[in-house]
A and B are shown apart, each in its own frame.
Chain A
């Protein structure tokens, strides 16, 4: 029997890829404080996915189109910083969610679709889905590598980056669209809530261990993969939803990291002579 024929093997491969993808983009999301935007994206791509499945075109395409509209909308809105951006993100979130739910409700048997939208269906991942995730991972890694310098410059010092000739608008759009592609890739497999969790929690945990971006990124990828595999194992052992157990594992890693840094800080304080 082919190794890939086993649903659990495919699921394992998918969580490894998804964990790496989430950890990679998560560093940018955490540094730029884009968690709420990511959450809004997970909900806003929903109507695109549903509409695509109703018309019968590729689901991913529907998600990408809907997400791109939202990402560009947010990019336009965040040019004016302040309350309006946060509120507009919230409005997009509500609108996307409501629209998607309304579309789903017109179809029969919709509660199953809705709950798989929330918690994903990792055990039904097809070889084709795996290929897509791997491809997206490669592309995202390339984009982030190529843009590492300007993205870091902008994240650290927007005004200075602009003065040195970096195009803020173009790079903001590149980043938001990259996040969007990751979200669209992750949601069908692992669900909205877990997508957010896999993006934010490993990167936030990694941030606690180091002040160096390269180390943070490597750790985030490691934590993402680790929580994916461990969470999947827990899910098969105790028969709980995989999305939820992976998300809780990622949270656990963050908690341990947080306590670890508290202890390190306390030890560091003690070493300082009084």
Chain B
């Protein structure tokens, strides 16, 4: 069976300075991997490394069996909404259409199949009625769902989500979880960073516990237990 992500003894960092070390993880298509750890633990670094945006200092990192850089454009990426310009003049439909740009190219107008993919993606996240609205007018949870729809429209085999549940309302959270389950059932490999332990336990079939280094990796019932959590969060962690 082919692997989506395979990291062997990987250290990651910026300009030679390590930010996250000892990462050992294997992710197969259809699996859901949760990256768990406190703020600043290196979760975003690990996600960005899967797009080749962070230097690999040691070890072997492979995405779809080759250099992570080649995953750019093939892997979907859902950024945190607070990194975006809320005033930007763009409709929800156009944002989702961006997911198709890799296929459409610069010049060609969008075809019927592109428009259908956009409509389907919006339908899956339950925002069909918002298609004409300006992105910035939506709530935080709705914005997150639009960005998820954009990633779905690109039909990626690997989907990377950076804190998708941050500042998200309950309705949006349920919609996102449902779509993520559907996607993995269809064979998409998922990487989700979160600091919400309950959510990680419910959603993931693999958990990677990080804080400066990888402290544990495996099924939730082996990793989200007192021992590994104390190591990652410190002895005084309240569990």
Q: Which of A159-177 contact B (CB under 8 A)?
A: 159-160, 162-165
* Stretch from A102-110, A146-154, A246-254 that touches the partner: A146-154
Whole-angstrom CA separation of A162 from B83 in the bound complex: 14
Tell me if A155 counts as interface (CB < 8 A to partner B): yes
- The complex places the Cα of A102 from the Cα of B90 at a distance, in Å, of 45
CA distance A162 to B51 in the complex (A): 9
Whether B102 and A164, one on each chain, are in contact in the complex, defined by CB atoms closer than 8 angstroms, is yes
Q: Majority SS of interface residues in chain A?
A: helix
Task: Across the interface, name the chain A residue whose C-beta is closest to B151.
Answer: A160
The answer to whether B106 and A213 have CB atoms under 8 Å apart is no
**Given the complex, which residues of A lie within 8 Å of B91, measured CB to CB?**
211-212
Q: What range describes how many residues of A lie at the interface? A: 20 to 34
A103 to chain B, nearest CB (A): 39
Taking CB atoms, residues of chain A closer than 8 Å to B90 are: 152, 156, 211, 213
**When the two chains form their complex, are residues B107 and A213 in contact, meaning their CB atoms are under 8 A apart?**
no
Please tell me which one of the listed residues A150, A162, A163, A210 contacts residue B89 in the complex, with CB atoms under 8 A apart: A210
Choose the segment among B2-10, B69-77, B116-124 that binds chain A (4+ C-beta atoms closer than 8 Å).
B69-77
- CB-based contact B95/A162 at 8 Å: no
B145 CB, nearest partner CB in chain A, Å:
15
**Binary A-proximity of B45-82 (CB < 8 A = 1, otherwise 0):** 00000010100000000000000000011011111000
A146 CA to B106 CA, complexed, in Å: 6
Residues of B within 8 A of A156 (CB): 84-85, 88, 90, 95, 98, 135
B72 touches A164 (CB 8 A): yes
- Is A207's CB within 8 Å of the partner chain B? yes
Q: Is A31 among interface residues, defined by CB-CB distance under 8 A?
A: yes
Residues of B within 8 A of A159 (CB): 77, 79, 83
**Given contacts A156-B85, A212-B91, is CB(A147)–CB(B79) below 8 Å?**
no
State the majority secondary structure of interface residues on B. mixed
- Name the one of A146, A162, A210, A212 contacting B107, with C-beta atoms under 8 angstroms: A146
Given A156-B85, A210-B89: A164 touches B95 (CB 8 Å cut-off): no
Known: A146-B106, A213-B90. A157 touches B79 (CB 8 A): yes
- Shortest beta-carbon distance from A150 to chain B in Å: 7
B51 partner residues in chain A, CB cutoff 8 A: 162-163
Closest to B101 in A: A149
0/1 interface trace, chain B 128-167, chain A, CB 8 Å (1 if under): 0000001100000000000100100010000010000000
1/0 per position for B96-107, CB-CB distance to A under 8 A? 001101101011
Which residues of B lie under 8 Å from residue A149 when comparing CB positions?
Answer: 98, 101, 104, 106
- The answer to whether A216 has its CB under 8 Å from any CB of chain B is yes
Q: In the docked arrangement, what's the CA distance between A152 and B91, Å? A: 12
Whole-angstrom distance between the Cβ of A232 and the nearest chain B Cβ: 30
Q: How far is the CB of B110 from chain A (nearest CB, A)?
A: 10
CB-defined contacts of B76 to chain A, threshold 8 Å: 163
Query: What is the bound-complex CA distance between A163 and B150, given in angstroms?
Result: 12
In the complex, chain A residues whose CB is within 8 Å of the CB of B83: 157-159
B72 touches which of A150, A162, A207 (Cβ 8 Å): A162
Interface residues in chain B, defined as those with a beta carbon under 8 Å from any beta carbon in chain A = 51, 53, 72-73, 75-79, 83-85, 88-91, 94-95, 98-99, 101-102, 104, 106-107, 134-135, 147, 150, 154, 160
Listed A/B pairs (28) with beta-carbon separation below 8 Å: A147-B106, A150-B101, A152-B94, A153-B98, A153-B101, A155-B85, A155-B88, A156-B135, A157-B79, A157-B83, A157-B84, A160-B77, A160-B150, A162-B53, A163-B53, A163-B72, A163-B75, A163-B160, A164-B72, A164-B73, A164-B99, A164-B154, A165-B72, A165-B73, A210-B89, A211-B134, A213-B89, A213-B90
User: Other than the known A164-B73, A164-B102, A165-B73, what 19 A-B pairs have Cβ atoms closer than 8 Å?
Assistant: A31-B88, A31-B89, A148-B106, A149-B98, A149-B101, A152-B90, A153-B98, A156-B95, A157-B83, A157-B84, A160-B98, A162-B51, A163-B51, A163-B76, A163-B79, A165-B102, A211-B89, A212-B91, A216-B89
Residues of A within 8 A of B (CB): 31, 146-150, 152-153, 155-160, 162-165, 207, 210-213, 216
Q: What 10 A-B pairs have minimum CB-CB distances, sorted nearest first?
A: A165-B73, A163-B77, A165-B72, A211-B134, A211-B89, A159-B79, A163-B51, A156-B88, A160-B79, A149-B101
